[in-house]
Amino acid sequence: MTTRTSENDLLLKGLKCAAVAILFAACGGWSALFCLPHFPDGPGSLVYLFPVPFALLCAILFLPNVQALCALPMPVVWLIAYFTANFVGMAGGDELLPGCVGGLVGALGLVLCVSIGYPPFSLKRFAVGGLVGLISALPFASWVQAYHATDFNRGPAANPPAPTYAFAIWQASVGTYLYLLSSAKPSTEEED
């Protein structure tokens, strides 16, 4: 009987994670499509609105009540990751570095935000979160390659489209990891 119950619990948790991943993927794709039409060189005002839907989705899905305050710094994390990626690699010719650095910095910042609402602070959380952010940022490489190949003499319309799929993949991966952190029982996670 307990085996059947544990199998059902595992199935339910898997379905919840799949639904959360789909919601975050849609959020990332929609945000990139509408807020970043000429990313990163286009109209700057929408770039600052880009992280707001992600933060709101986090607050709705797994940051109830006072813990929702943990979502407030999430847009700042986006700005730090965005400027770090630009500083580290967009000026050069490397395709992997900007996305991976931005993905790593963004994921570490978001894990910090969620860990404030759902302690403990553990090295394991940050290591896994950073790895998820770094690996899920690999799809940005093809966009960076297209960005570097753009003829900038033709103006902003010549820029490649926003990396919609890359943002959808990154937000789905990192958002699902944050959801799992929020739903983990404190006794099941090892403290470092």
- Does residue 121 sit within a domain? yes
Would you say residue 154 has pLDDT above 60? no
- Does residue 107 sit within a domain? yes
What's the predicted TM-score (pTM) here? Answer: 0.83
Radius of gyration of the chain (CA): 18
Produce one character per residue of 55-87: b if its CB has 16 or more CB atoms within 10 Å, e if not.
bebbbebbbeeebbebbebbbebbebbbebbee
- 118's tokens: 């759902």
- Does residue 140 sit within a domain? yes
Range scoring the smallest mean pLDDT among 8-22, 51-65, 89-103: 89-103
Phi and psi dihedrals of 191, rounded to 5?
-90, 140
User: Residue 21: which domain range?
Assistant: 2-185
Following DSSP, what letter does each residue of 47-113 receive, concatenated? HHHTTHHHHHHHHHHH--GGGGGGGTTHHHHHHHHHHHHIIIIITSS-SSHHHHHHHHHHHHHHHHH
- Does residue 155 sit within a domain? yes
Question: What is the reported pLDDT for 2?
Answer: 65
Q: Total structural domains in the chain?
A: 1
- Does residue 190 sit within a domain? no
- Does residue 94 sit within a domain? yes
- Does residue 192 sit within a domain? no
pLDDT digits 0-9 by tens, 115-150: 888 888 899 999 999 999 999 999 988 877 777 676
Phi and psi dihedrals of 18, rounded to 5?
-65, -40
CA gap 56, 41 in Å, rounded:
25
